[in-house]
Amino acid sequence: MSEEERTDDEGGVIKKFMYVNRRAPYGTVYALESLEVVLIGAAFDQDVSMVFIDDGVFEIKKGQDTAEIGMKNFSPTYRALEMYDVEKLYVSQESLAERGLTEDDLLVDVEVMPDSRIADLMDEQDVIFTF
């Protein structure tokens, strides 16, 4: 938990919300659902971060083109997160390496960090949603 309570201009409490994404896009609905929850949550002016670990790193792979599988390509939405003040995007270095990916493969600016650092960030949160 946060050590001290932060408040916004109107005295409302600002909590640290972390969304942990660990599923690949398209094969299941988790990735898309997570994105929708993040966008809804963004309306509440909280301190939001998104973490991409395990197969979740595939959500932000550059160059997705779903024309031939008949599904909506929702990857451009990750680039719009900035407009909703969701700017803290963290990616597991180990998860990228295990999948043969590098930071250059990703379609948004992120901070790549070791799992130990991500564990520390998780520890600091008030609320964690995992998809």
Partner 1 sequence: MSILHTVNKSSFEKSSLDSCLRYAKDGSTLLLYEDGVYAALKGAASEEKIKSAMQNHKVCALGPDLKARGFSQDRVIDGVSLIDYAGFVDLAAEAEKVQAWV
Which residues are at the interface with partner 1 (CB under 8 A)?
23-28, 54-55, 58, 61-69, 71, 73, 75, 98-100, 105
How near is the Cβ of 80 to partner 1 at its closest, in Å? 18
How near is the Cβ of 93 to partner 1 at its closest, in Å? 14
7 within 8 A of 14, measured Cβ to Cβ = yes
CB of 50 or CB of 56, closer to partner 1: 56
How near is the Cβ of 21 to partner 1 at its closest, in Å? 13
CB of 85 or CB of 103, closer to partner 1: 103
CB of 2 or CB of 28, closer to partner 1: 28
CB of 48 or CB of 106, closer to partner 1: 106
20 within 8 A of 53, measured Cβ to Cβ = yes
How near is the Cβ of 49 to partner 1 at its closest, in Å? 23
Show contacts of 100-105: CB within 8 Å, 24+ apart.
Answer: 101/57, 101/61, 105/61, 105/62
- Show the tokens assigned to 64: 């997705």
Angstrom distance (rounded) from CA 52 to CA 130: 10
Smallest CA-to-CA distance from 24 within 79, 69, 61, 65 is with 61
